[in-house]
Structure 1
Amino acid sequence: MTAHISFRQVTKTFPIRGGAVSGRGPAVFTALDSVELEVPAGEFVAVVGPSGCGKSTLLDLLGGLTAPTSGEILLGGRPVTGPGPDRSIVFQQYALLPWRTAQGNVEFGLEAIGVPRRQRAARAREYLDLVGLTGFEDRHPHELSGGMKQRVAIARSLAYDPDVLLMDEPFAALDAQTRESLQDELLRIWRSTGKTVVFITHGIEEAVYLGGRVAVLTSRPGRVKEIVAIDLGERSEGQDLRSSPEFARYRHEIWSLLHDEVSRAQLLEREVSQV
C-alpha cells in the first residue's frame, strides 16, 4: 500500500533563548532527529516515547503547525507546508467554546470552510450520533462530563471529513473507566470511517490496545527506535483483551524498549548535572 504519510529524515530544532556556543553561533535544542516514519492510508498508528522525546512536536509538524528544520513530511505525496482541511487535531484539552452548545461546537469548523447552515446542522447531528451523543445536542460544555466533552471534540474534528485524524493524548485527563470506554468508541469510529489516525500517548497499554502498529521513540532527541506490529486477533464484544497473554507480551516488549530509553535519559541528566 502506498504510504499516505511519510516522514523523511525529519529534524526539528529550537533556539535556546540566551544560549550560545562559543564560536558556533546560537545554541539549539534538538527535539527530533532524522525521523523516518511511513503510515499507510487508513492505518491506526500509536506513538509512545519517554517524557520530552518530541511526541507532540512530531504531531505539530504533521499538522503543519510548525515546520521541520530539515527533512520533509509528505501527505498523499505532497509536502506538508501548513495546516489544511485534510488533517484534524484532537488535543488533551477539549478546547470547546463555552458559549456554544455541543452542536454549535461541532458546526464551528464547518462554518470556517463555508458549509451552508442547513447542511452544517445535519452534519453536526450525524457526527454527534456517531460519537454517541444523540440527545445532548443542546447541552453546553459545562453541562457535559469530561468524556462527553472529548466526544464533542472528536465529532468536531471528524465533521469536515479530514483524511487524517491527529490525536495528542486525548484521553490522558480522563478517569480509567471513561478512558477505556472512549478507546472502544474510537476504534469503532476508526473502523466505520476508515480515517488514518496518528495517536500520541504516554500509556503503553493504550498504545497496544489501539494501535495496529506502535512507533517507539527514543529519549531526546526523538528518533524512531522501533515499530512494533500489533496483532490481537479478532475482537468480540465483552472480550477482555487487556488480560490476554498476547496483550501482555506486546506490553512487555514495548515496556522493555521504553525502559532502556528512560534509563539512558536519566543517566545523561546525571552526567550533565555533574559537569
Structure 2
Amino acid sequence: MTAKVSFDNVGKRFHARGRTVTAIDDVTLDVRTGEFLVIVGPSGCGKSTLLDLLGGLTTPTSGRILVDGQPVRGPGLDRGVVFQQYALLPWRTAQGNVEFGLEAKGVPRRDRVERARDQLELVGLGGFADRYPHELSGGMKQRVAIARSLAFDPEVLLMDEPFAALDAQTRDGLQDELLRIWERTGKTIVFITHGIEEAVYLGQRVAVMTSRPGRIKEVIEVPLTARSATEDLRSDPAFTRYRHEIWSLLRDEVSRAQRQELTRDRQEASVA
C-alpha cells in the first residue's frame, strides 16, 4: 500500500524563556493511503506538534513532510483538522457551522447547503441541522466539528484527542461512529490520543512515541478486523494482548517524562 503521508527525519525546536526546546526529533513515519493510524505517547512528547506540522499550522525545523509526494507548505483543503475543543460558532446552527468554511471558500450556496446536509447525515445528525451549539450535547458538538472537517472532502483527516473531554459512554459511542465513517469514506486518518485502549480500538497501526524529544519508538500492527461489527471487542484476548504490548512500550516513557517534568520544575524554582 502506498504512503499517503510521509514524515522524513522531521524535527521541531521551539525557543522559550531564553532556551531552546526540542519537541520532536528525527521522526520518520509513513501513513498508508486509507489507513487509520493512531499516535500515542506520554504528555509533552510532541504528539500535537506532529499533527500541527502535518496540518501546515507550523513548519519543521528539520526534515520534511509529504502528502502524496508533495511537501506540506501550509494548511490545505486536502487535510481536515478536528481538535479536542469543538470551536463552533455559537450564533450559527449546526448546518451553519458546517457551511461556514465552504462559505468562506466561495462555494455556491446551493452546493454548500447540500454538502453540509449530507455530512450531518453522515455523522448521525440529520435531524439536528437547525440546532444551535448550546442546544447540543458535547458528543453532538464533536459530531458537528467532524462534519465541518469532512465537508471539504479532505483526503486526510487529522484528529487531536477529539474525544478526550467527553464522558466514557459518549466517547465509546463516537469511537464506533468514527469507525463507521472511516469504513464508509475510506479517508486516511491520523488520530492522536493519550488512551491506550482507544488507540487499540481504533488504529490499524499504533505509533508509540518516546518522551521528549519525541521520536517514534515503535509502530505496532493491530490486525483486528470488523471492529465496528464486533459486539465486545474490548474483551477479546487479542485486544488485551495489544493493549498490554503498547502499555509496556509506554511505561518507561511515561516514567521518563515525569522525571523530566520534575527536573524542569526544580530548575525553574531555583531560578525564581
TM-score grouping bracket, smaller chain normalisation: over 0.9
- 1:198 is aligned to 190
Of 172, 178, 181, 1:186 maps to: 178
User: For residue 22 of structure 1, what is the aligned residue in structure 2?
Assistant: none
Report the residue type matching 1:144 in the other structure. L
Q: Which amino acid aligns with 2:24?
A: L
Question: Which amino acid in 2 is paired with 1:33?
Answer: D
What does residue 13 of structure 2 align with? 13
SS in 2 for 1:74: strand
RMSD of equivalent CA atoms: 1.4
Matched residue type, 1:59:
L
Is residue 156 from structure 1 mapped to residue 164 from structure 2 by the alignment? no
1:128 & 1:269 partners in 2: Cα distance? 42
Shift of the alpha carbon at 1:269?
4.7
Given the alignment, which residue of 207, 213, 216 partners 1:215? 207
Letter in 2 for 1:140: Y
| Structure 2 portions without partners, runs of 5+ | none
Cα distance in 2, alignment partners of residues 234 and 185 from structure 1: 13
Q: Deviations over 1:167-196 (max 9, x none)?
A: 000000000000000000000000111111
**1:113/1:190 CA distance change after superposition, 3 Å:** same
**1:118 and 2:110 equivalent?**
yes
Conserved 8 A contact 2:43-2:257: no
1:100 aligns with 2:86: no
Say whether the 8 Å CA contact 2:176–2:228 is kept in structure 1: no
Report % sequence identity. 74
1: CA distance, partners of 2:186 / 2:249: 30
- How far apart are residue 271 of structure 1 and its match? 5.8
Deviation at residue 268 of structure 1 after TM alignment: 4.2
Deviations 1:192-244 (A, max 9, x none): 11111000000000000000000000000000000000012334646100011
The secondary structure found in structure 1 opposite 2:115 is: helix
Please state which structure has a larger fraction of its residues in helix: 2
For this pair of structures, how many residues does the alignment match? 267
Q: Indicate yes or no: 2:226 matched with 1:234.
A: yes
Structure 1 partner of 2:138: 146
State the match for 1:2 in structure 2.
2
CA distance in 2, matches of 1:157, 1:9: 28
**2:126 is the counterpart of 1:131:** no
Please identify, of 104-113 and 135-144, the stretch whose mean Cα deviation from structure 2 is larger.
Answer: 104-113
SS at 1:147's partner residue?
helix
Alignment partners' CA distance in 2, 1:95 and 1:58: 21
CA contact (8 A) 2:37 2:206 kept: yes
Whether 1:82 aligns to 2:82 is: no
Is the 2:179–2:228 contact (alpha carbons within 8 Å) kept by the matching residues of 1?
no
The one-letter code sitting in structure 1 at the alignment partner of 2:78 is D
Change (3 A) 1:270 1:136: closer
Partners of 1:158 and 1:236 lie apart in 2 by: 20
